[in-house]
Chain A
Amino acid sequence: MTIRAAKTPSRTVRAHRRFWTSRTRRAGLNLLGLLVALITLFPILWMISTAFKPDTEWYSLTPHPLPAHPTLSNFRSVIDGNVIGWPYWTFLKNSLFVTLVSVAASSAVALLAAIAVARFKFRFRSTYLIMLLIVQMLPQQALVIALFIDFRSLNLLDSLVGLILVYTAFAVPVTFLMLRNFVAAVPRELEEAAAIDGAGPYRVFWRILLPLVAPGLVATSVFAFVFAYNEFIFALTFLGTDTAKFTLPLYVQYFYGRNGANWGGIMAASTLFTIPVLAFFLIIQRRLAAGLLSGAVKG
C-alpha cells in the first residue's frame, strides 16, 4: 500500500500533467484542423492566384504561391471576350437565367408535392416516394440520349428553355426529399387553428405554411441552385453549336478546350465562374448545414 502511494504522483503534479496533456492535445487537434483546411483550400487558392499571374509567372517551372506582379490582364481578356467572341457577361446572364428560373420552378413544384406527402395520407404515397428516390439516381449521361432525340424533334435544342425544363425536372426529387422534412416540422395545430378561425386552404398556405417553410425553402433551393449552375452533360449535349447560348460551365470547358495552354486565362474564367457560388455558400452556410442534416442523411 505504501509502495503504491509513493509511486503515484501528488495531486498537484497530476493536475499539472493533465492540464499540459489536454493543452498539447488541443493544440495538436487545432493544428490538424488547420492542415485539413489548408489542403482543402489549396486548389481554390491556387486557381485564384494563377488568375492574377502574368504569363511569365504561371509559365515558370518553379511555381510561387503568390503572384509577384499581380495583373488583371487575364480577367480583362475573359471579360472582353476576345478569346471566344462573347464577353463573360453573356454566359453569366445565360447561367443566372437558367438557374434562377429552374430553381424557382422546381421549388414551387416540390413544395406542392411536399405538402401532399407531409399533410395527407393517400394511396400510392409510398409508391410516389420510392419512385422519387429511384429517379434521383438515374444516370444523366444515359437519359441525355433520349432527351436529345426528343428535344431535336421539339425544336428545343440550342435553347435555354429546353435546359430549364430538364433542370427543373431533375431538381425536383432532391428538393422535394429535403423540403418535406421542413413541411412536416411545421406544427399542424397552427394550420388547424387558422382553419377553425375561418381561413380557407389558400389563406392557410400563404399566411401560415409558406412563411414557416421559407427558411427550409432557402436551404433546399441551394441544392437545386448548385445542380443547375454546375450542370454540364445536358448543356454540353443540347447547346452544341450556338456559343452565345452557352452557360458558364460549358463556357469554362470550351475556353479550356480551345486555349489549352493559356492557364492564366482559364483560371480567370474559372474564378469568375466559381467565386459567385462560393460567396453565396459562405453567406448561407448555417442554413445549408440545417438542410444537409435534415434531408440528405435521412434520405
Chain B
Amino acid sequence: MVRTAHGQPGSVSDPAGRPPRPAPPLSFRQRSEIWIRRHRVAPYFLLLPSLVLIAGLVLWPAAQIAELSFQNYGLPQLVGTVPTQWVGLSNYSQILHDPEFWLSLRLSVFSAVAMVVLTLVVGTLVGLLLNRLGSKMRAFVAAVATLAWATPTVSASVIFVWLATPDGGVVDWFLSKLPPWLDGGAKWAGFSWTNSALPAYTLLTVLVVWTGFPFIAISVLAGLRTIPSELHDSARVDGAGPWRIFWRVTYPLLRPIFRVLFLLSIIWDFGVFTQVYIVIGELGQRDMYNLGIYEYSTAFTLPPAYGLASALAFILTIILLIITVGYVRASVRQGALQ
C-alpha cells in the first residue's frame, strides 16, 4: 500500500514528517450513504413506506377485527359511555345459531360457484376465439372486452338493474318476445328480477360474468400465445377434434394459469359486495343478503353491533384466507418469489 487513498489521513505517514492533510469533511448525505452500504440496510429503507402503510391500514385493522370479535362492542362502547366488555366466544356461538348467517353463507357459496364456473367458461371460450381471429379483429374484440372490464362496478350494477327493470327494461321485453319453446312469453312482461333471491342472483351472476370474463379471456390468450402452434397442428393431423385438443394439449400446458385464474375468481366472487348492495337495493331485503352484506349490515345499520359484525368479518376473512393459501402456493410455484 504505497498510494494513500484520498481522505484517509494517517494511514501512511508522510516521509517528510509533515502532518497529514485533514480530509474534507463528509457531507451528511455521503456519511449516510456509507452507513447504509456498510450495514446493508438499503432494502429495508426502501420497504419502509410500504410496510408502514400496509401495517397501519391493513394488518392493524385485521388484528382489531380479530380482537373485536371477542368483545361486546356497539354504539355505547364506540362513543365511550360504556367500557368494552370481553365476552369470549359468545359472538361466535350467536352466529352459529343464527339461521340468517347460514342462509347468507349458502347464498355466498352457491352464487360464487355459479359465477366462477361461468366466468371461467365464457372467458376461456372468448380467449380461444381471440386466438383464432385475425390480428385486427382480435385487437377490436379485446379492446371491447377491456371496456366491459373497465366499466366501474357501480355503473355496471346500475346499468344491469336498468336493463332488468320490470317497467321499461329491455330484458323483460326481450324475454316476452321469445318464442314459447325458448320459455318466452307474456309471463316475462313486468317480471321483477330484484324481488327474491334466485332472480336477483341470476342477474348478479350475469353481471359478474360480464365484468369478469375479459380478464380471463386476455389471460388465457396470453397463455395461448406461448404455446407453439406445431403442437396444435400435429394434434389436428392426428385426427383430434377441438374438444380433445383443448383437454389434451391446451389445458395441460396452461394449467398453471388456469389454477391462478380459478383461485382469483373464487376470492373475487365469494367476496362480491358492491354489485349485491346495489342490485338488492341497499340493505333492505334481508333474505337476499350474502355473507359480506350480512356482515356489513350488522355493523352499519342501527343498532350497530361492531363486535358481532367483526366475528362475521373474521369468518369471512378466514374462508378467503384458506383459498388465498392455495393462490399463494400457486403463485410461488410460478416464481412469485424470484
Top 9 nearest A-B pairs (CB, nearest first) are A299-B331, A142-B313, A146-B61, A116-B46, A169-B57, A146-B64, A120-B43, A116-B43, A249-B154
29 contacts between A and B (CB under 8 A): A29-B129, A36-B144, A36-B145, A46-B163, A63-B170, A109-B50, A112-B46, A116-B46, A117-B43, A120-B46, A128-B51, A130-B337, A141-B295, A141-B296, A143-B313, A146-B62, A147-B61, A149-B68, A165-B53, A169-B57, A201-B42, A253-B158, A256-B161, A267-B162, A270-B155, A273-B155, A278-B151, A282-B147, A298-B331
Q: Determine how close the nearest CB of chain A comes to the CB of B3; give it in whole angstroms.
A: 19
For the complex with contacts A143-B58, A252-B154, A299-B327, 9 further pairs of A-B residues with Cβ separation under 8 Å are A44-B159, A113-B46, A113-B47, A131-B54, A149-B68, A252-B158, A281-B146, A289-B218, A297-B222
How many chain A residues touch B (CB < 8 A): the figure is 100
Q: Which of B60, B144, B314 contacts A40 (CB 8 A)?
A: B144
Q: Mark B316-335, 1 if CB is under 8 A from A, else 0.
A: 11001101100110111011
A282 close to B143 (CB less than 8 A): yes
CB-CB under 8 A for A278 and B46, given A149-B78, A256-B278: no
Task: Closest A residue to B140 by CB, please name it.
Answer: A37
How many chain B residues touch A (CB < 8 A): the figure is 103
Cα distance A58–B151 in the bound complex, in angstroms: 22
Q: Determine how close the nearest CB of chain A comes to the CB of B5; give it in whole angstroms.
A: 16
Name A102-116 residues within 8 Å CB distance of B: 108-110, 112-113, 115-116
B151 close to A44 (CB less than 8 A): yes
Interface 9-mer from B15-23, B96-104, B131-139: B131-139
Q: Determine how close the nearest CB of chain B comes to the CB of A147; give it in whole angstroms.
A: 5
Q: Which of B134, B156, B293 contacts A26 (CB 8 A)?
A: B134
- At the interface, yes or no: A62 with Cβ under 8 Å from chain B? yes
A232 close to B46 (CB less than 8 A): no
Q: Which of B46, B219, B267, B310 contacts A146 (CB 8 A)?
A: B310
- At the interface, yes or no: A150 with Cβ under 8 Å from chain B? yes
B42 close to A145 (CB less than 8 A): no
Chain B interface helix/strand/loop/mixed: helix
Cα distance A297–B127 in the bound complex, in angstroms: 14
B210 close to A141 (CB less than 8 A): no
- At the interface, yes or no: A41 with Cβ under 8 Å from chain B? yes
Cα distance A125–B42 in the bound complex, in angstroms: 13
B146 close to A122 (CB less than 8 A): no
Q: Which of A120, A138, A229, A285 contacts B317 (CB 8 A)?
A: A138
- At the interface, yes or no: A59 with Cβ under 8 Å from chain B? yes
| A132: chain B residues within 8 A (beta carbon) | 54
| B132: chain A residues within 8 A (beta carbon) | 29
B274 close to A233 (CB less than 8 A): yes
Name B29-72 residues within 8 Å CB distance of A: 33, 40, 42-44, 46-47, 49-51, 53-54, 56-62, 64-65, 68
- At the interface, yes or no: A76 with Cβ under 8 Å from chain B? no
Task: Closest B residue to A121 by CB, please name it.
Answer: B43
- At the interface, yes or no: B271 with Cβ under 8 Å from chain A? yes
Q: Mark A6-40, 1 if CB is under 8 A from B, else 0.
A: 00000000000000000000100110111011001
- At the interface, yes or no: A263 with Cβ under 8 Å from chain B? yes
Q: Determine how close the nearest CB of chain B comes to the CB of A167; give it in whole angstroms.
A: 10
Residues in chain B within 8 A of chain A (CB atoms)? 33, 40, 42-44, 46-47, 49-51, 53-54, 56-62, 64-65, 68, 78, 126, 129-130, 132-134, 137-138, 140-148, 150-156, 158-163, 165, 167-170, 173, 189, 210, 214-215, 218-219, 222-223, 257, 260, 267, 271, 273-274, 277-278, 281-282, 292-293, 295-296, 299-300, 306, 309-310, 313-314, 316-317, 320-321, 323-324, 327-328, 330-332, 334-337
Cα distance A297–B159 in the bound complex, in angstroms: 29
| B328: chain A residues within 8 A (beta carbon) | 130, 133-134
Instruction: Pick from B50, B54, B281, B316 the residue with the most CB of A within 10 Å.
Output: B50
Instruction: Pick from B61, B134, B163, B169 the residue with the most CB of A within 10 Å.
Output: B61
Q: Which of A108, A166, A252 contacts B57 (CB 8 A)?
A: A166
| B141: chain A residues within 8 A (beta carbon) | 33, 36-37
CB-CB under 8 A for A43 and B313, given A61-B168, A135-B59, A299-B336: no
- At the interface, yes or no: A126 with Cβ under 8 Å from chain B? yes
Q: Determine how close the nearest CB of chain B comes to the CB of A273; give it in whole angstroms.
A: 6
B43 close to A122 (CB less than 8 A): yes
Task: Closest B residue to A147 by CB, please name it.
Answer: B61
A143 close to B324 (CB less than 8 A): no
B143 close to A149 (CB less than 8 A): no
| A233: chain B residues within 8 A (beta carbon) | 273-274, 296
- At the interface, yes or no: A266 with Cβ under 8 Å from chain B? yes
B53 close to A143 (CB less than 8 A): no
| B170: chain A residues within 8 A (beta carbon) | 46, 63
Cα distance A122–B51 in the bound complex, in angstroms: 15
Interface 9-mer from A67-75, A80-88, A170-178, A210-218: A170-178
Task: Closest A residue to B143 by CB, please name it.
Answer: A285
Q: Which of B47, B143, B173, B210 contacts A43 (CB 8 A)?
A: B210
Task: Closest B residue to A294 by CB, please name it.
Answer: B222
CB-CB under 8 A for A169 and B222, given A46-B159, A133-B331, A281-B147: no
Cα distance A135–B160 in the bound complex, in angstroms: 31
A58 close to B168 (CB less than 8 A): yes
Task: Closest B residue to A176 by CB, please name it.
Answer: B50
Cα distance A50–B331 in the bound complex, in angstroms: 43
Task: Closest B residue to A50 by CB, please name it.
Answer: B162
| A90: chain B residues within 8 A (beta carbon) | none
- At the interface, yes or no: A274 with Cβ under 8 Å from chain B? yes
| B150: chain A residues within 8 A (beta carbon) | 226, 277-278, 281
